[in-house]
Amino acid sequence: MSKIIILRGNAGSGKSSVAQDLQARLEPRPLLIEHDHFRRHILKERETPDILNDKLILHTIEFALKHNKDVIFEGILPLQHSHQKYRELLAAILAINSKNTYIYWFDIPFQETVKRHSMRTKALEFGEEKLKQWYKDDDRSHMKGEIIIKANMNLERIVQLIADQAGLKLVGRRVSNS
């Protein structure tokens, strides 16, 4: 049965690096769904309550599962305050594939996210002030089986942990120097 790996956390926490590395090192290649890409580039949406990206993402995940593809879904996906839609999206994903869905929260301190962000090309788009505005100190989903990723875990350790927990075999080479 196909697996769904959900990587959540603050901007600059390392989710994208882990997702890209994981995708490059698995055979067959899983489908990588980057929340920001769907929202900002495919649908040209801003973060508002009536956005459609959650529906498109859910349909894309269902499509992948129908075709026996594993899925890596990464994004900030905030759950605090007015972001009930993302809690509903996670619940819908669990409803279609609960036994083979793995959820990870990147619990990275603010100063570490600033440091990591400064090494990305996105650092040219926004800086520390925006990161501070968006940062959620503790936004775990508290859903059953959620795994917490800490700042002391390097990319290789995180990728290996996810592969081991999901029963996936890494075959490719590392693509990131994180």
- Given a contact cutoff of 8 angstroms between Cβ atoms, the answer to whether 29 and 72 are in contact is no
Is 8 a member of any domain? Answer: yes
What's the average model confidence in pLDDT over 143-162?
94
CB atoms within 10 A of CB 128: 16
User: What does the pLDDT read at residue 154?
Assistant: 94
In a domain, 139, yes or no: yes
* Tens-digit pLDDT profile for residues 109-124: 999 999 988 888 887 8
Average pLDDT, the chain: 89
Span 60-72, pLDDT tens digits: 999 999 999 999 9
- pLDDT (0 to 100) of residue 118: 87
Tell me the mean pLDDT in the region 77-83: 76
Using alpha carbons only, what angle is made at residue 100 by residues 96 and 103, rounded to the nearest 5 degrees?
95
Percentage of the residues of the chain whose pLDDT score is greater than 90 = 59
- If DSSP codes are grouped into helix, strand and coil, which group holds residue 72? strand
Matching residue, tokens 């839609």: 85
CB 87 within 8 A of CB 49: no
Strand order in the sheet with 101-107: 31-34, 71-75, 4-9, 101-107, 147-150
Better pLDDT: 175 or 150? 150
In a domain, 174, yes or no: no
Count other Cβ atoms within 10 Å, centred on residue 144.
9
In a domain, 43, yes or no: yes
* Position 106 confidence tier, pLDDT thresholds 50, 70, 90: very high
Q: Confidence band (pLDDT; 50, 70, 90) for 54?
A: confident
Q: Which domain holds residue 36?
A: 4-166
**Does residue 177 fall inside a structural domain?**
no
Distance CA 115, CA 113 (A): 5
Q: Domain for residue 171, yes or no?
A: no
Q: Provide the pLDDT for residue 78.
A: 87
Using the predicted structure, report yes or no on whether residue 131 has a pLDDT greater than 80.
yes
Examine residue 120 and state whether it is found in any structural domain, yes or no. yes
CATH number of residue 102's parent domain: 3.40.50.300
CA distance 146 to 81: 20
Task: Tell me the sheet residues that pair with 7.
Answer: 74, 104
pLDDT band (50, 70, 90) for residue 107: very high
Number of domains in the chain: 1
Residue 172 lies in a domain: no
Would the pLDDT of 81 be above 90?
no
pLDDT at residue 178 tops 50: no
